[in-house]
Amino acid sequence: MEKTGSSFIFLAFFLLQTLIKHEATKVPAIIVFGDSSVDSGNNNHISTVLKSNFPPYGRDFDGGKPTGRFSNGKIVTDFISQAFGIKATIPAYLDPSFNITDFVTGVCFASAGTGYDNATSDIFSVIPLWKQLEYYKEYQTKLRDYLGASKGNATIAKSLYLISLGTNDFLENYFLLPRRSSKFSVEEYQSFLVRVAAEFVRELYKLGARKMSIGGLPPMGCLPLERTSSVVFGGGGECVEKYNGIAKDFNGKLMGLVEMLEKELGGIRIVLSNPFDVLSDMIDHPSYFGE
């Protein structure tokens, strides 16, 4: 698992480099929205089968116990928070062991299994993106009550907002269930998701957010489940290139969205943190990364 940890550290610093070159001022807090790639434990506290509260999850985390992160240890947002010098880990908003004194420097609203599409979150009864936004509004009220309106508003404006989701929309929804695939072509569905992402960013902007990173899709055809599925259906365990191509196309659309929003929303600092090429290199050339 050391190699997995090293890979996440490498990816975290790749994302961090992308962000720092756009915004060098002090970041008081990291605010997280998304799916299992960034869920730090919210699913532990809702009624869903999609949880990671059992071994071997968490075995390399402090204390060696599962935390609800879908990882053997920290997740990428923890590393980003640590690299910014804020704190070692970002707590889950629904975890009752934390409160506003913990959340003032960072909080996670993400929920494993969710997507941009509300229909995706329905599959496993997880927290949809609109509900994550409602939790964020609730958090804003608590933050202003705790810090005072002026300092609370400053924290909201200067914080870094990380958004990471989209894989489940394709792999757990579009390609498995007929509800969307019978209505949309792949390209139409990509455009639908991008429109949802655009509205989400606009809502965050209205609420005071100014520094944002939208995460691109990884080479999702190389995820372990997809490679295993290829064996089940007679393949050799190779990556599903069809899915990788869709991920690349979607990332291109997200890049177009970022460029559009930069022009539309005055004062916003927004970047696409695209892990596709970095993770592809790790998969294709593992020896470069410590094997």
Burial class (CB in 10 A: 0-12, 13-18, 19+), 88: exposed
- Domain coverage including residue 260: 2-289
Residue 17, phi then psi, degrees to nearest 5: -60, -40
- DSSP reduced 3-state for 266: coil
- List the catalytic residue out of 7, 36, 81, 111: 36
According to the model, what pLDDT value does residue 224 have?
A: 72
CATH code, domain with 232: 3.40.50
Of the pLDDT bands very low, low, confident and very high (cuts 50, 70, 90), residue 5 is: very low
36 has catalytic annotation:
yes
pLDDT tens per residue across span 252-267: 999 999 999 999 999 9
Residue 103, H or E segment: helix 100-103
4: pLDDT strictly greater than 50: no
Instruction: Dig out the tokens for 183 from the structure.
Output: 């209505």
Closest CA to 45 of 127, 130, 139, 129: 127
Q: Specify the pLDDT at position 9.
A: 47
Average pLDDT over residues 169-178: 96
pLDDT (tens digit per residue) in 142-166: 999 999 999 999 999 999 999 999 9
Could you tell me whether strands 211-215 and 160-164 are parallel, antiparallel, or unpaired per DSSP bridges? parallel
pLDDT at residue 62 in the model? 86
Are 202 and 265 in contact, with CB atoms under 8 Å apart?
Answer: yes
| Helix, strand, coil share (%) of the chain residues, nearest 5 | 50, 10, 40
- pLDDT tens digit sequence for 26-83: 899 999 999 999 999 999 999 999 999 999 999 999 889 999 999 999 999 998 998 8
Residue type at position 173: N
- Please state the domain count of the chain: 1
Show the DSSP H helices in 148-273 as ranges.
Answer: 149-158, 167-168, 178-181, 186-206, 224-232, 241-264
Work out the pLDDT band at 276, boundaries 50, 70, 90: confident
The sign of the CA dihedral 240, 243, 247, 248 is positive
Q: Which amino acid is at 160?
A: L
